[in-house]
Amino acid sequence: QVQLVDSGGGVVKPGGSLRLSCEASGFMFSDYYMGWIRQSPGKGLQWISYISLNGRSIFYTDSVKGRFFVSRDNGKKSLFLHMNSLRAEDTATYYCVRMTNGCFDYWGQGNLVTVSS
């Protein structure tokens, strides 16, 4: 069955960096766009980014552009979110998602990232 396993969350100081990983199984990873979605504590969902099949096209929401970078390794069936210059407002649970038919059909379990001094 389709599984997305998120890892890499934790506590980081403002201005710091963190890398989230997502390991996929149960489907042909290289056949799907993948993305990241976050949810601040007690708040709604926010789309962050998505990456094309070969990783050559990547889109970011404005609030993370230039600070966050997404990559994928199709051989290792893995998706990554590199987060730099982290701010308090980046505190959230980050979900790895599989994309198809213009929606997010499978979600990882989520990783909490806390930005605090």
Nearest residue (CB) to another protein, 71 versus 109: 109
- Determine the Cα–Cα distance for residues 8 and 111; give it in Å rounded to an integer: 7
Is-contact 21 95, C-beta < 8 A?
A: no
Query: What are the residues binding another protein (CB under 8 A)?
Result: 35, 44-47, 50, 59, 61-62, 95, 101-105, 107-110
Nearest residue (CB) to another protein, 21 versus 35: 35
Nearest residue (CB) to another protein, 17 versus 25: 25
Is-contact 48 39, C-beta < 8 A?
A: no
